Structure 1
Amino acid sequence: MKTKEEYKKMIKDVKPIFDFLLPFVRKPLINKVIFSFIASGIAFIGASILPEWYLPIIVAFFNDKLNISIDNSIYAIDVIGLTVGIILTCIGLILLAIKIWDEKNERNFKREKTKNILKIKHSSIENVVDFNSMDSYLTNYNVSELELNQANDMIHKNIESALIKQLELTRDIKPFINNSNFEAVYMGLAHIPLVFLLGYQVSDKFISKFDSVK
Structure 2
Amino acid sequence: MLRSRQPSPSPVEFAVQQRYVRVLAVIGLLMCVAVVGAVGGTYLADRTASSSTDPSASSSADPTRAGTDSTPAGPVADSPEPSEPAEPSASPQKPTDRTYAIDRKVYDELSLTVTLVSAEVTDGKLRLNLRYRNDALLPWPLTCPTAEVDRTSSRIVLSDGRTVYPERSWCATTRPGESITLAPGEQSDTWAVFPEVPEAGSSFSLHWYDFPELDDIRLR
> Which protein has the bigger strand share?
2
> Relative contact order (C-alpha < 8 Å, sep 6+): which is higher?
1
Larger Rg: 2
Question: Structure 1 length normalisation: TM-score?
Answer: 0.25
Between Structure 1 and Structure 2, the one with more helix by share is 1
